[in-house]
Amino acid sequence: MAHAVSGKVVAISGASRGIGAATAREFASLGAKVVLMARSRDAIVDLAGEIGDAALAVPCDVARYWEVEAAYNAAVDTFGSLDIVINNAGVIEPVARIEDVDPEAWGQVIDINLKGTFNGARAALPHMAGKGGTIIGISSGAATNALEGWSHYCSSKAAALMLTRCLHKEMGEKGVRALGLSPGTVATQMQKEIKASGVNPVSALNWEDHIPPEWPAKTLAWMCTEAADAYLGGDISLRDEGIRKAVGLI
């Protein structure tokens, strides 16, 4: 039987590496058309080349609304619709205490992690009007847990969780499924940056403590099915063994 995402058009931000790239490969393997969005043009062009005709690479800075809008228009022009949005783009640098952090750099993290998530959702709604769709944010334990040096990241993820709740409240009855995935710590470049910072307990974790990016990728595909409907308007945690079992990871 075909997977629920087969034939669907999926836009993935932050698709150049880590969870985003793994998610693009996973959705394409299930028969979806994938739109790869990232600032790193060469990386997404290479990934689109690897995936083939089912992939479209669109260089995009999610902090700029018009760029996200243009990427979605390209998706619809190429593949005919926009059915699923994975707001995965996110940054954590600079890790710094509030008293030391550069205000401009702090704000840039909000622009990507929060405004980028808003832009990803807002620009999708006109394409989903009347037919529904799924909008998923990448959340974090940091949304509800204060960590030293991560005031920008914790604040942006807390706000993005509330954005998911608001999206569900306003659009749920119109067929737009809004939910978030809190993947836990994943073996990606971001964890290398966290490790290098040496700040707070997350930086003390060993590489083998982190899950592979393929786990969140498989979970995101599962979240696009009715099996995840009980979690609409909130976060799904990959630390939850019940979720891992439901997705088929253990």
Q: How confident is the model at residue 89 (pLDDT cuts 50, 70, 90)?
A: very high
Q: How much is the average pLDDT of 218-233?
A: 96
Give the alpha-carbon dihedral of 44, 49, 52, 56, to 10 degrees. 30
Distance CA 95, CA 186 (A): 17
Q: How confident is the model at residue 190 (pLDDT cuts 50, 70, 90)?
A: confident
211 touches 185 (CB < 8 A): yes
Return the pLDDT at 194: 87
pLDDT surpassing 80 at residue 2:
no
Catalytic-role residue among 65, 72, 153, 231: 153
Pairwise pLDDT comparison (205 vs 86), residue with the higher score: 86
What residue spans define the domains of the chain? 9-90+103-184+214-247
Lowest mean pLDDT among 32-36, 123-127, 158-162, 198-202: 198-202
Return the pLDDT at 159: 96
219 touches 250 (CB < 8 A): no
Q: How confident is the model at residue 34 (pLDDT cuts 50, 70, 90)?
A: very high
pTM: 0.96
- The greatest distance separating any two alpha carbons of the chain, rounded to the nearest whole angstrom, comes to 55
User: Catalytic site residue 231?
Assistant: no
Distance CA 154, CA 65 (A): 23
Fold of 9-90+103-184+214-247: Rossmann fold (3.40.50)
CB atoms within 10 A of CB 197: 17
Instruction: Give the single-character DSSP code of 40.
Output: -
pLDDT surpassing 80 at residue 1:
no
All residues at 6 or more sequence positions from 181 whose CB lies less than 8 Å from its CB, including other chains: 136, 137, 138, 139, 216, 219, 220, 223, 235, 236, 238
Q: How much is the average pLDDT of 197-221?
A: 89
> In terms of Cα–Cα distance, which of 77, 9, 83, 21 is closest to 51?
21
Strands 84-87 and 9-13: parallel
pLDDT surpassing 90 at residue 23:
yes
Query: What residue has token string 């944010």?
Result: 137
Query: Among residues of the chain, what percentage have pLDDT more than 90?
Result: 82
